[in-house]
Structure 1
Amino acid sequence: MATLDSGLKVLVLEDTQELAEILVETLRGMNLQAESKSHGRPALELYEQLQPDLMMLDIALPDMQGWKVLDAIKEKVHKNPDYKLPKVIVITAYGDPANRLMGKLQDVAEYLIKPFTPTEIEKVVTRVMGL
């Protein structure tokens, strides 16, 4: 794995605990600050505290759709100039054209279909963040 000293913060929103742990471990192995949540509402609270540079976003969550989380973050950014819109990597099992179109409309940086490897995660994050 590449070792990066970026100081970048990542919010992982993934409801499968094992995958969330792999994502966080991979990101921390890249010297990124990574925190995870499994539900949308707690993730929105953490977003305000963390102010992440990158968000890894699952679409299917227990309490709300990932797209709704992204809409809520965009609304927060619009209302508060101190907030920033993170780059978004969608991590999902949904590779259908409708969800891919939604990703384009939401201006996500990357759309990663499950399953994927830690090496793929590292490559995508490195590319998206310009590391």
Structure 2
Amino acid sequence: MIARKPKRQPKWRTPRTSESSKRTKLSSSGTYSSEGNNDTPTSDEFELICPKGTKTAKRKEKGKATAAEVEEYEAFKANDLRKMTIMETVNDIHQKDIETRRRELEAKQAEMDLQVILADTEKMNDAQRMAHAKLLEKIMTRN
């Protein structure tokens, strides 16, 4: 069984600094004061400011953007679009350059193949003729 502490023990009693806890009127302005607590500010001295709730703050953040923010966003968007078009143009130029180099290499290879095909085999020895025959086979498999 749990023992209950009586309410008259010091833990449960509030301390009193003076004999009377009644408020008295101080002046003609209508402000009151407790005899025990004269340091408490009255409602004329300060205004209570409550912090915004989480939901209210989030709603305000998600609100409409100002005209300056919209203009700044549009400027960033236009700048990004310009960068993308420049990058696409550079990419197209690189692709054309790659294609041109590939065609040049193919032309050089075709010229070399033609030299091998048209080579005079009468002046070649047997080893050279065998190497020539192998090159001709490779040329034929590529084409």
Q: Flag whether TM exceeds 0.5 (same fold).
A: no
Task: Name the one with the larger strand percent.
Answer: 1
Tell me the TM-score normalized by structure 2: 0.16
Tell me the TM-score normalized by structure 1: 0.17
Flag the structure with more relative contact order, 1 or 2, with Cα contacts below 8 A and sequence separation at least 6.
Answer: 1
Larger Rg: 2
Task: Name the one with the larger helix percent.
Answer: 2
